[in-house]
Every structure is written in C-alpha cells, then in structure tokens.
Structure 1
Amino acid sequence: MRRTRLGRSAVEITELAFGAAAIGNLFTRVDPGQAAAAVDAAWDEGIRYFDTAPHYGLGLSEHRLGEALRSRPRDAYTVSTKAGRLLEPLTPAETAAHRGLSEGFAVPHTHGRRWDFSADGVRRSIEDSLGRLGLDRIDVVYLHDPDDHGEAAFREGYPALEKLRAEGLVGAIGAGMNQTAMLTRFLRETDVDAVLCAGRFTLLDHSALDELLPEALARGRGVVVGGVFSSGLLADPRPGATYDYEAAPAPVLHRALRIRAVAEAHGVPLRAAALHYPLAHPAVAGVLVGARSPDEVRDSAAQLRTPVPDELWDDLRSEGLL
C-alpha cells in the first residue's frame, strides 16, 4: 500500500488508515475479540496507520489498539492519538448516576472528559495515552477539536506539542477538526506537520478546496482526510441515513443518490468513489476509515483497490456534482 511522509517529518502513513473510534464502542458495543480481529485484518490488508484518541470510549480504543499491535514490530506501523480532553475518574456514585451512551460511546461512565489545551494538560494527556497504548513514543499527536478553545490551543497546546516533538516523544504534530478555518490557521501560523480534516473533503462537501488544501500544498504539509463516507450517507444513501452526524436532509440525500448513479454507470461502487476522490488531491496523504469488524476493513481495502476511471469524475463535473 502506498505510503506518504507527513509534511517535513520522518513519519510515514499508508494511504488507507484504520480509524479506531469504532473499537472503542462507538454507538454500540464491540466484542474484544472482534476488535482485535479488525486490527488484524487491517494489518493483513497492508494498513500500517492507526488512529485513536482518549475520547474514544474513555480510553478503551487506545487500550484495545495498543494490545492488538503489541506483537507487531514497532517500526513497522504508525499510531496517532489526540490531546485536548483529559479523562478524570468519577466516584462510584457518579458512575451509577449515568445511563446510556457516554458522549456517543457504549461504555460505563467511569470517567469524565475535561477540556484542557494547557501545556500541562497536553503533556499529561500524552503521558496517559502512552500508558494506555503501551508505547514509549507516539508517532503523531493532533490537538483534538479545539473549536471553542482556540486561544488556549494556539497559546499553550501547540507550543507544548512542539516541545514534545523536539524531545522525540512525538514524531509529528498537528490538529484534527471537523472544520477548515481553524485548520487553515494552524497551517499558516504554526509549524504543524499535518492536519486531520474530517468531513470537509468528500463527494458531498468540497469546502477544504477553498483554502485548506491549497495552503497545505503550498507549505508542504500533510492532510489526512476523515469522514469520507459523510457519516454513512456515502456508504449507503437511503432515507434515514446519517450525514454530518444527523439524519440526511432530503436535498443532500438526493445529491448522494445522483452521485451513486453516475458511479455505478461506470461500474464503480459509490464507496470506492468516495475513497478515491480525496486521494486524488496532491496535498492528501491518506484517508481515515473507521471499522468495527474484519469485514468492514476488508471492504474498505477492496474499494481502494477498485479502479476508478477519469471519465467518472468528468461526468460528475458535467452534472454539477463536483
């Protein structure tokens, strides 16, 4: 599988990355054996970049990913995690008082999440992640969703990452968000190696093309694209499908169905087109796809291997869909 270096760092990633939020029990529980099998399937398919975060399942994703990779040669794979939310233990009474999902994850409410982009908070977050992952270094760290904490992220969080990179505890640094404006600011005002842009460079949302991708290309920085299936709509466009974490509005669903029709006219599954579209941009180093089972991993790898003719993109443009 093709590998690309992130910015000016020495860190390389495969063009298809394993997103480990799902094995942190995103929305529903995942059996530990199935979680491990999903990581094994990713390895068998040639995936060597694995992304996680403390937020995912209150550390469960990091624990499971670290355990699944423990027997693999450390220099053979790349792991990214994130900083910005600290996990703090709750009392048994506080845990018992909570019911349902923990911010979208089907895990016991044993900890609370506290936003913290301070220098001390970022360092503590990474030290905690190292313990959960069972690693002595982390290849990539992203500041995680600093949308409402921009001042702290730029003033304290980012300089802390720079120091950790200089110490060799972290290989590459950046920010990961669901918006482009602040990511573009990170590219312009800091020395990040890469940014993780979720949901803003897909067949349905091209907003990263306005400023983010040109800025990254001009500055030689890497971009990892997440959310290529638009929360599920581009995997299976149907009434009730989700888009941007909510039920897809009728006009967006109609657009997705039109895109699918064009893709299928060329013998290309919509999922394959959704994966290939961001990878065609020279600033994009890789795409991040979440998976909770071996079958989902193998399907993503199969879509990546599916040839997509240039005529498909031409037809989408001629119909005003790109």
Structure 2
Amino acid sequence: MTGPGGGRELGRTGVRVPPIGLGCAPLGNFRRPMGEEQARAVVEAALEEDWSYLDTAPHYGVGLSEERLGRALAGRDRASYVVSTKVGRRLRPLAPGEEPPDGEGFTDTPPRARVWDLGRDGIRATVEASLERLGTDRVEILLLHDVENHVREVYETGFPALAELRAEGAVGAIGFGMNHSDVLARFVADLDVDVVLCAGRWTLLDHRAATDLLPVCERRGTSVVVGGVYNSGLLADPRPGAHYDYREAPAEVLERARRIQAVCGEFGVPLRAAALRFPFGHPAVASVVVGCATEAEVRDNARMFAREVPEELWHALVERGLLPEGLPLPAE
C-alpha cells in the first residue's frame, strides 16, 4: 500500500505522498456551492499537475466531498493516487421531518447529520461508509479528525481502533488532523503516530507548531502534512475583509501579511509562492495540501509552487522582524 512512486514517505509506513496535494473540503461546498462538473474539473486538474495526494473527510459536506471525489476518480488506476480520509464524526441519515443541523460552513449538503463516535465499532462503520462513498476498497491514510475535545476517547478507543486497522493492513498510515498543534504534539509524544495533518499552525503568519509539534515529530519520526498555508485566505490575498483562521482578519494581522507581501515583492516572488514553500523549512514536513474550488485555482497554485524562492527572502523577513529568529527556513 504505497501509492504512486516518488515523494516523501510518511513515517516508516511505505506510504509516499507528493510535496503538494489537494484538500477536498471545497468539494463539499465549503462556504459556497460548486457544481458536479466543477468538482470533477478540480480533481482532474490536480491529477494532471501530479497532485496525486487527495485529502477528504466525512465532515466535508456531510459526505458530499467523498462522493464527488469518488466519482471523479472512478476508472482511474488505483495505484496512481493516495487518499486520506478521517474518522471521529459518523454520518447518519436525517429522520423524516428532521431539520437539517448546522452545516458548519458547508452549504447545500445531503440530508445527513454528524454524530461524534470514537468507539471501535463506530470508527469501523465510518471507514466502511467512506469507502462506499469513495468507490474504493481502501484508503492509504486514516486520521482522527478534530478530536481536541475528545482526548479521553482518543486514548481509550479511537487511536487503538486506528492501530488495529493498520495492523490488519486495511490502512497504511494513521494519525490525526486538526489545527491545535499543542494537542497534536501530545498525541505524537504518547502514541505510535505515522502522520499528522496540522492546519494553520506552521505558516508565514503562525509559527506555533515550531515550538510544540515539529520538534516532537522530528524526534519520533512522525511526518507532518501542512494544511491551511494561506491561513483561510489572508496569505493568498491580503486585502481588507480577507479571512484569517476562518474569520475576518484583525487589522494588525492584515498589516503584517501586507508587510510580508511587500518583502516578497522586493525579490519578485508572489506571496502565495512564499506561503506554499515556507513549511518545507522543517525536515518533518512531507507535504502541503491546498483546498481549491476551481480548476484555475489548481493551476495557479501549481505555478506558485514551481516558483523559485531565494534563501535571501527568508533572511530578509527575519531581519525585518516578520519571522522570528531561529525558525527553520527553507533552502533554495
């Protein structure tokens, strides 16, 4: 269960991922709806750009993201891509007459509800339902999703259930996905974690993972996939009203992003290119995943990721006080 050749290995699992992958939350109508053909075009563009790592979850559109991803992948060589999905929230159909629950940022979703379930049977049922929606017999990577408020259940049943699936060969790599780097660090220190997907905490604007998560991952041999490299959009386009951590950016954070953008401009580097490259300064980072809502966004991110970023840019950001001294910085 290795997936496509090349890329970085996750832990010591044999599962390899390319340096950039597709985050599939937009396929679940995150913030705004997308059509079926648009969703297919996003996936096809990602695969054409060699983004053979595709990250989804039942939470994304209460199963809609997995369904659309499965339809877009139908008929493709199963060895040509790697999929990660997540557990923790089990889905159930709405009862007749039941009002749809809060969409949690997702719109126009199927008539289902999310139920927290970190029990062994619940996790296995969640995986089986995901496989059906994805139209596949396996996923390479399985993550416990947003479980920062369910720590006891993680230790008692959640992670043991994932470890059992790994031992059976049903999945290749297991771990966690969330945006709380301190909680991730605790899990990595205590458990046999292959990979973590850390969103928004190892970026040009937020470096928290450098002090808690990244050192323990390097010590334990746990790989890191970085999500949220644009911090909800601010580092893609730092304009008034841009989002930072899922809400409108505070004035001081917006100003900091614009100052970083100005320094990038001095080196002829788009801010997006620097944001995509920054996480690779740390050796534990294996990949970044980027959510894209259109084919054009996939192509743009691919171009940005291919841009050269001179080492002098990072040192200039440190000298201007826009990055702390002592951070691991990418080599050219």
Short-chain TM bin = over 0.9
Query: What are the within-5 Å matches in structure 2 for residues 201-240 of structure 1?
Result: 201-240=202-241
Structure 1 unaligned blocks of 5 or more: none
Distance 1:305 1:166 in 2: 37
Residue of structure 1 in register with 2:329 after alignment = none
Q: Share of identical aligned residues, percent?
A: 53
Aligned length: 319
Q: Alignment partner of 1:80: what SS? A: strand
* Structure 1 residue 111: Cα displacement: 1.0
Contact 1:175-1:195 within 8 A present in 2 as well: yes
Distance 2:241 2:24 in 1: 25
What is the identity, as a one-letter code, of the residue corresponding to 1:188? A
Residue of structure 2 in register with 1:299 after alignment = 300
Residue of structure 2 in register with 1:165 after alignment = 166
Which string of whole-angstrom CA distances, capped at 9 and with x for unpartnered residues, describes residues 214-260 of structure 1? 11111111000000000000000011110000110011000000000
Contact 1:2-1:15 within 8 A present in 2 as well: no
Residue of structure 1 in register with 2:135 after alignment = 134
Contact 1:90-1:111 within 8 A present in 2 as well: yes
* Structure 1 residue 108: Cα displacement: 3.8
Which string of whole-angstrom CA distances, capped at 9 and with x for unpartnered residues, describes residues 167-209 of structure 1? 1111110001111111111111111100010000000000000
Is residue 40 of structure 1 aligned with residue 44 of structure 2? yes
Higher relative contact order (CA 8 A, sep 6+): 1
Residue of structure 2 in register with 1:31 after alignment = 35
Structure 1 length-normalised TM: 0.97
Contact 1:98-1:109 within 8 A present in 2 as well: no
Residue of structure 1 in register with 2:78 after alignment = 74
Residue of structure 1 in register with 2:21 after alignment = 17
Query: What are the within-5 Å matches in structure 2 for residues 1-322 of structure 1?
Result: 3-94=7-98, 97-98=99-100, 102-108=103-109, 110-322=111-323
Residue of structure 1 in register with 2:328 after alignment = none
Distance 1:108 1:137 in 2: 24
* Structure 1 residue 98: Cα displacement: 4.0
Q: Which runs of 4+ in 1 moved over 3 A?
A: none
* Structure 1 residue 2: Cα displacement: 5.9
Contact 1:102-1:109 within 8 A present in 2 as well: no
Cα distance, 1:73–1:109 mapped onto 2, change above 3 Å = closer
- 220-229 vs 65-74, greater mean Cα deviation: 65-74
- Root-mean-square deviation (Å): 1.3
Q: Alignment partner of 1:92: what SS? A: coil
